[in-house]
C-alpha cells in the first residue's frame, strides 16, 4: 500500500515538475528517494536451489528456523 502511494506521488509530481514547478520536482525527488530506500532495505529471500518442474515430478520442501546470529 505504501509502495502504491509513493509510486503515484512520484509519477504525479514528476509529471508536474517537468512542466516547470520546482516544488513538485522537490516532492518527486523525495518520493523517489523514499522508494529507493525501501527497495534497498527490503528483506530478500536467498534462492538456494532452482530447477524446472515438469509434469510427474515430485518434490518436498522442508523449512527450518534460521540460526540466531
Q: Confidence class of residue 18 from pLDDT cuts 50, 70 and 90? A: very high
Round to whole Å and give the CA distance between 36 and 30.
10
Closest of 31, 29, 27, 33 to residue 7, by C-alpha: 31
pLDDT at 44: 78
pLDDT at 31: 96
Round to whole Å and give the CA distance between 33 and 40.
11
- Residues 56/24, Cβ–Cβ less than 8 Å: no
pLDDT at 51: 86
The pLDDT of residue 17 is above 90:
yes
Instruction: Give residue-wise pLDDT tens across range 34-63.
Output: 999 999 988 877 777 888 889 999 988 888
Closest of 38, 45, 41 to residue 5, by C-alpha: 38
- Residues 36/29, Cβ–Cβ less than 8 Å: no
pLDDT at 67: 80
Amino acid at each position: 500500500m505504501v509502495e502504491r502511494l509513493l509510486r503515484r506521488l512520484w509519477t504525479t509530481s514528476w509529471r508536474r515538475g517537468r512542466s516547470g514547478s520546482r516544488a513538485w520536482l522537490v516532492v518527486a525527488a523525495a518520493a523517489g528517494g523514499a522508494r529507493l530506500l525501501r527497495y534497498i532495505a527490503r528483506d530478500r529471500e536467498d534462492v538456494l536451489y532452482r530447477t524446472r518442474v515438469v509434469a510427474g515430478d515430485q518434490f518436498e520442501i522442508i523449512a527450518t528456523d534460521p540460526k540466531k546470529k
